[in-house]
Amino acid sequence: MITVHQLCNEFGEVTILCSRATGSFIYCQGGSLQSEADSHGVSLASYVHAIHGLLIQSGAKDVLLIGCGGGTLATMLSFGDVCVTVIDVNPMSVILAKKYFSLPDSVSFHLGDGDAFLRETDLTYDAIVVDAFIGNKVPDHFQSENFLRTARKQLSPSGLVLFNVHLSHDFDPQADLVGMAMEDAGLAVRILDAPGVLKRNAIVLGGAVAALRKPDLTIMPEHSAELIAEQLAWMSLRPCRNRSDNRG
């Protein structure tokens, strides 16, 4: 890997790395990997392909992404007939996403906080994706019932909220805690998870989730496709565990 860009601002240190062997790019912020993509901006992270597959299944045409990073999900959605809006508090994220991760100009970008944006807009979306982290932790206000009620109000009748979380192990309750907050906000919930895998991503789905099935690989990256397909195959959809299961 070679470092092709490095900067430090109020949001922490951002480093862009490039693989000599494959030409892929990695976006790191605060020491945590935020995005990895091939030379066309297609993600090399299975959870991004999982979210993409779920959105394609749902038929979403207007999608709001809270959190940019390298913008790989936005880039992949832009390959189809999807109108994508990205919001992020870091003004450099969209600049780096366009320079190194092939984020197209057709993707709308708003600088600011996703919660404030949803409270102020009168637009509705077929899907709202929350993929925003400080290190490995989602900001607390995005996990609140109040935020999720606001998000629900801005969904179309058959819309979805998709929430990316990090889990350390099978007993990590984070996905279920977000799921319970979604249920309290009046959303039906399912969780896409990969049990048995340490330090993994899980996707919490709220809204019109009943008909969704486990996603397949829908866009082939330049490399690592077989590994990503295997990781997607390991995932399964489950209900949210109840509060008594998450005590302690």
Answer whether CATH 3.40.640.10 is correct for domain 45-210+222-246: no
pLDDT above 60: residue 237: yes
- What local confidence, expressed as pLDDT, does residue 246 receive? 53
- What local confidence, expressed as pLDDT, does residue 245 receive? 59
Give me the mean pLDDT over the 205-225 stretch: 95
SS (H, E, C) 35-91: EEECCCCCECCHHHHHHHHHHHHHCCCEEEEECCCCCHHHHHHHCCCCEEEEEECCH
pLDDT above 60: residue 116: yes
102: left (phi over 0), alpha (psi -120 to 50) or beta: left
Give me the mean pLDDT over the 138-154 stretch: 88
Task: List pLDDT tens digits, range 61-88.
Answer: 999 999 988 899 999 999 988 999 999 9
- What local confidence, expressed as pLDDT, does residue 248 receive? 45
Give me the mean pLDDT over the 95-101 stretch: 93
- What local confidence, expressed as pLDDT, does residue 34 receive? 81
Q: How far is CA 236 from the centre of its chain?
A: 17
pLDDT above 80: residue 32: no
pLDDT band at 247 (very low <50, low <70, confident <90, very high): very low
Indicate the SS3 state at residue 6: strand
pLDDT above 80: residue 136: no
- Exposure pattern of 137-149 as b/e (b: 16+ CB <10 Å)? ebbeebbbeebbe
Give me the mean pLDDT over the 22-46 stretch: 89
206: left (phi over 0), alpha (psi -120 to 50) or beta: beta
Give me the mean pLDDT over the 31-44 stretch: 89
Share of residues in the chain with pLDDT > 70 (%) = 96
pLDDT above 50: residue 93: yes
pLDDT band at 14 (very low <50, low <70, confident <90, very high): confident
Task: List pLDDT tens digits, range 153-187.
Answer: 999 999 999 999 999 999 999 999 999 999 999 99
Kindly report the pTM of this predicted structure. Answer: 0.93
